Amino acid sequence: MIVKAYIDDFNEITVVLAQMVHSVKKEDFKVFLDDQEIDIEKVEKLMPHSENPFEAETRGYEICEQKGKIRFVLKEGHFDFHRKSTVRPVFVIGDMNNWTISPEWELTYSKLRGRYELIKDLKDIKIGQKFKFAEGASRKLWYPPGYGNDIVIEDYFDREAAFTNMVKITTTKRLWANLKYKVMYKNEYKYARPREILIRNEYFYARELGARYEPYGTYFRLWAPTAYKVKIQIFDEHENFKFEKEMSRAENGTWDVYLPGDLKNHFYLYEIWHYNYEDDEGYIVYHVPDPYSKASSSNSGKSYIFDPADGLIDGWQADSFVDNIEKQNDAIIYEMHVRDFTIDQSSGIDENLRGKFLGFCQEGYYKEGISTGLLHLKELGVTHVHLLPISDFGSVDDKNPDKRYNWGYDPVLYQCPEYWFSTKSGGIEALKELRTMIKKLHENGIGVVMDVVFNHTYHTKGGKFSIFDKIVPEYFYRVDDYGDYSNATGCGNELATEKPMVRKFILDTIIYWTEEFHIDGFRFDLMGLIDCKTMRHIANEVRKRNPKALIYGEGWVMGDSTCLVEEMATILSSCHQGYSIGLFNDRIRDAIRGDLDGYKTGYVHGNLSDVERLKQGIKAAIDDFAKEPDECVNYVSCHDNLTLFDKLQKTMVGEDIFWIDRASRLANAIVLTSQGVAFLHGGVEFNRSKGGHPNTYNAGDDINKIDWSLKEKFFDTFKFYCDLIKLRRKHIAFRMRSSGEIKKYLRFIPAPDGVVAFIITYPYDEWKKIIVAYNPFKGKKILQLPEGSWRIKANDGIVFPDSSEKEAIGSFEIAPVSLFIAYQK
């Protein structure tokens, strides 16, 4: 029985059988287009992934994820060497080359697997072959006995003898992605779905997609190479059906149509007809908004036609990216959700603007002397605001904004703003209000970072908010040979970012937001599931337009993916290195606070178990995962998991609020005095709480809102953050330019047990020597100072103004649970 059949090339069909077979015969298979039989040139087995129960390291090799390839595996301990290098030259001898020394091969060290590897083609590998590895041409350096010497290729690598359930059919006639082919195996049949054929150049369309409006007519182009038929449906200003027209099949898998007349303020949908691959007859018809929609009706319903000039605001042409940093590690990022920031009455923001783009940029007060909104951000002194998703998502109701709450990590229309944050649902008002917010923040020296979600979509297949699957079924996602969606996101699907038209869509989207909305940077949700090539393209394209743009993301995944491990942009890869792509440093986070939601403690509790990881983070992880300091984003809390204050309350039961507050200050004092990019969770500056709830993505306003009364309650804490941010921005010694400078000018110095202390001797700062020390204990500690007179800038939970600085010689007493800073000019 055939489980699945796929068109993988212009003359290649891959068949997945329900049972394993030892051999295949050409005469067992037939291919039909309608009633016409297509000649088969050959039928051959495909090698399955290894199901061998033994570990790859034990047997020395494995079938790898790339079809027809073998990965040779060598663990670190298998060679006797004095230093670990990322690449090792080796030679191989064996049956495969008549026991002569091979040309030099390169084993590459994989951090992900903790071993050396190299991948070769399977075509020359035969059953029973033996091989050995050597580090040089001398037999004295052969792979030592007991560690894989005389490794034998097992029989399942013999394609003649192997059992498999995957078969490749090669046809004599060219196949097309938009035609329905029947594949027969003995008496069973399936229709072949287009798959890898769609990644061929013939189906790559490099130019503009979507709608292009002009007063005398609108041009539409959609990429839907597998569709049987496509129509466009036009609706009037009130979303009433007006007319439809069939689109024409065009180049590289696209469909286009030109509709004369002025269609401004009208709506449209694509009606897409697909073959029913589960039946002999019939079609599956979907009505879908344009994935390239720049505006829509309420709740992602229909795409909106408008003149782009109407979406501009006064003075927009004069607006530009912020110019408040030189390098990415100069940034101090403040993460916030648009609605959370102003939705509470305590924000003092106009009632009709609370929770909106316009409210975010309004100057407000909780009471006299306690600023909120934009004034608060200015007073705090951060360089950039990182906004949780502001592009269209599907889990809220634009028309009833108080009905449902969500952070927004469920994307639908990627190039459309989220109307939940607008004063008007649908149309172009949201575009204008978003630009107004960005412009206002720019005028006040604050950049805007956009949180983007290119790892998954809200719905797939026939789901209400499924866009991609309704246009090109399965193409935009990672799907295995059985049709199951890869799910390393935990959300049911993964975008296949490595596919050409998916990569194009991502780049088009990022470039659109950069050019048209002057976005100053992008944070990538589950960036580890975006392939390295795409991330590097993004970094290059964005920085062509804004050399000072921020690019950073989460360098991890939530489960197993069908994406090749080597291609993922994770913290364990080298994808980010040399491209100024920042990764969240979860190592320093855990070293400082302990675990995310449990009872494990960290450095600020006096737990010294991860001090070495803490020191690595202080040096911007340049001895860990980062090559340069702008690749390390240091943080201790974000929107996910318990807030810092809630975590400290959970793990400091019975402690006075004084000590919990001091631990909170110390945690981000470490972040703000470490090298790398500094990242703060919005509200941490006055001990924001979410009532002990760890995952509040849909928990509503009562839990997620910013309670501005906390700023009054913890005003001294807020002042500490302001002063420390000002100090970091003033002194480049905390933001050294390169890993070489950090290695040269930062060194750890002797300190009392448990106190972490270091000295910076950066010659380009007005302070020629700076000592920073952290005391996590409730007792005072005496720090011995290097020779000379020192000015004390911070101690006892305070950053001192110049007029209050004390002088010290020889030693100084560090206050309990406190940051200490001293300097010499």
- The catalytic residue positions are 525, 554
Distance CA 722, CA 748 (A): 26
φ, ψ (nearest 5 deg) of residue 451: -80, 120
The label of the residue with tokens 């002025």 reads 262
Distance CA 198, CA 75 (A): 38
Distance CA 185, CA 27 (A): 9
Decide: residue 95, CB within 10 A, 0-12 exposed, 13-18 middle, 19+ buried. Answer: middle
Q: In one letter, which amino acid is 753?
A: D
Structure tokens at 63: 């079938």
Up-side HSE of residue 314: CA atoms within 13 Å toward CB?
0
3-state secondary structure 182-213: EEEECCEEEEEEECHHHHCHHHCCCCCCEEEE
Q: Which of 748, 511, 520 is nearest to 623 (CA)?
A: 748
Q: H/E element holding 725?
A: helix 715-730
Structure tokens at 279: 């039946």
* Eight-state DSSP code of residue 351: G
The label of the residue with tokens 């297949």 reads 461
Q: What is the dihedral of CA 254, 257, 262, 268, to 10 degrees?
A: -60
Q: For the chain, what's the residue count?
A: 825
Distance CA 688, CA 339 (A): 15
Using alpha carbons, list the distances in angstroms from residue 489 to 55, 202, 268, 477, 486.
Answer: 26, 31, 32, 12, 8
Q: Is 224 strand, coil or helix?
A: coil
CB atoms within 10 A of CB 102: 15
List own/partner pairs for 554-558 with CB under 8 A and 24 or more apart: 554/524, 554/525, 554/526, 554/527, 554/528, 554/583, 554/584, 555/527, 555/528, 555/583, 555/584, 555/625, 556/526, 556/528, 556/586, 557/488, 557/489, 557/526, 557/528, 557/529, 558/488, 558/489, 558/490, 558/526
- CA angle, 722 as apex, 798 and 555 as ends, to 5°? 110
Distance CA 292, CA 730 (A): 43
Q: Which of 372, 330, 376, 335 is nearest to 354 (CA)?
A: 372
User: What is the end-to-end Cα distance of the chain in Å, rounded?
Assistant: 80
CB contact set of 252 (below 8 Å; sequence gap of 6+): 202, 203, 204, 205, 223, 225
Q: Which DSSP string do the residues of 368-411 spell out, in sequence order?
A: TTEEEHHHHHHHHT-SEEEES--B-BSSS-TTSTTT------SB
